[in-house]
Structures are given as structure tokens and as C-alpha cells.
Amino acid sequence: MNQTATEQVLISEVGMRDGLQSIKSIMPTEYKFKLIDALYEAGVREIEVCSFVPATLLPQMADAPEVVRYALRYPDLTVMALVPNLRGARNALQAGAHKLTLPVSASEAHSLANVRKTREQMVQEVRQIVALRNEIAPGVKIEAGISTAFGCTIQGMVSEDDVVRLASQLVAAGADETGLSDTTGYANPAQVRRLFRRVFAEIGDKCGAAHMHNTRGLGMANNLAAYDVGVRTFDASLGGLGGCPYAPGASGNVVTEDLVFMFEAMGIDTGINIDKLIGARVPLQAGVPEEAVYGMVAEAGVPLTFQQQV
């Protein structure tokens, strides 16, 4: 943390889900445990550790209950899981996840490809999951993330009016928050500012995380644009792993190390030690040795002028 830090942001690490499910390799469970340990040691306090989907579809997530239970050993760590439907939500709640995130696509074509449901059906799915949460685990938070909010590789243009309307519907269905995802890497900073402003105006402080991809090199700029208009939670992936298997060409999550460095260099507190975060790449690469990892800061090194107290 810089001595002059006056603002704080939450960096939500999504690589263990978004990253690992998008590659061919399957990380052994024991390496997932090592990665959780390393991320926590670096100061990461929210990790999307898995998704609860059938192992036949995503064998990379077959050990989801075990991974959640391991992460729960850290009392101040928010353990998050992605769930595409009511069955997945029940399994995640039974495993003990603190927060569930649901992918609700603003693109009808992507929604049908990704979860085999229309947008309206997914809003109803959120309503049912909220009811289940209220019944068996009332303390768990529900995040309904709006994917393809800035454009879709299948459908093309996505109406901003549709995105704002969907955000309102998700909050009305009981979601605690809803963020915007640039699933396909189509967004630009002006678009990010405009759409987040509209969503903030519609749902206020229930507007949640920015989930940006760096597919066309604008991920960091888009995150900074989101910060400028009030977003304070940002998804990122260690080593830049990730994408969406149901959005062709949608590669490249924002690199957690680069995002943390940017905010800390600006005097914005992330609570994460950049050197230890770069060190967390060791168990990541050991667990999936055939996969490429990315990151400018890890490659170039931290500048001599950079000071951090975390």
C-alpha cells in the first residue's frame, strides 16, 4: 500500500474459474490448493475458486466442492463460485461458498450458446436461486454478472438499453449486485464510461464489478475508465488466463498483476503485495506447465521507484 493511498479497490481473482476452465490442461487439485495459499498470502481476499457445472462439460471443474472446502480455511477470504443454474447453486451452497455469481448474457445468442436459456429464463433462474439462498443460506451474496454487455461475437451489437433493462430486472429478481462483463473484448473506454454511468443511474450501489478482457489490448484502459465513473470492484486473472469457451475469439482476461500494479502506482490501495502476487505464478505454472501465461509487470519487473508497504 502506498503511503499516499486515499482510495481502495477490491481485486477479485477469477483465474481459478475463468482461467482454468478456458484451457485444455486440467490443474491437479493439490496445485489448486497451493494456488489458493499463494494468492491469500499475497493479500487477495476474494477468489472465484471454481464453477459448479457437470464434469462432462468442464472436467477442469470436477473437484469444485473440494476446492471450496479447502478455501474456507481462510476466515477473511470471500470464496466465490460461478453457478449457471439452480442445480449448480444448490451444490455451491451445500459446499459452503460465500458468494455465487451467475452469468446472465445481454446477448440472446450468447445466452443460448452459453447456458441454453433465454435472457428471460435466466432472470427467472436468478429469482429461483435467490429464493433457495434465502431458504438455506441467507448470508450468501448473489452476483448476477451481465456478460457480453459491450458486444457479442455471435450476435454483434448489443443494445445498451437492453443492458440497462437487464440490470434492473436482475436487481428486481433479488440479486445483491450486478456488474458488467466485456466477455468478448469489444469494449472501449468511452463505451465503458457511458454504460456504467447508465447502470449506476438505474440501480445505484447495486452496480458491481467490472470484468474486462484484454483481447484487443484495451483491458487496462477499460478498467481505469470504469474506476473513473465509480466502479470499485475489478475482476482479473493471474497470468491473464481465461476467456469464454462459448464466445469465439474471446481470449485474454486482464492480468491481475498488471491491474494491481496500476492501481498501487496511482496510490489506490488494493491490499495486495505485488511481489508476492508475482510469486503466485509459480504454483500456477507448475499446475498447468503446458499453458502460456502473460503479464507486463512480471516480465519487465517492478520499477525501482515503486514503493509498497503491504
Neighbours of 106 (CB within 10 A): 27
Contacts of 135 (CB under 8 A, 6+ apart): none
CA 79, CA 50: separation in Å to the nearest integer?
9
E strand or H helix at 120 = helix 119-136
Handedness of CA 268, 273, 279, 283 (dihedral sign): negative
DSSP 8-state class, residue 204: G
Helix (H, G, I), strand (E, B) or coil at 297: helix
Neighbours of 121 (CB within 10 A): 15
Helices (H), the chain: 29-42, 64-71, 86-95, 108-114, 119-136, 160-172, 189-203, 219-228, 256-265, 274-279, 281-287, 296-300
C-alpha separations of 13 from 118, 253, 272 in Å:
28, 11, 11
E strand or H helix at 1 = none
Active site residues: 244
Neighbours of 128 (CB within 10 A): 14
Nearest to 52 by CA among 60, 44, 61: 61
Nearest to 210 by CA among 224, 218, 7: 224
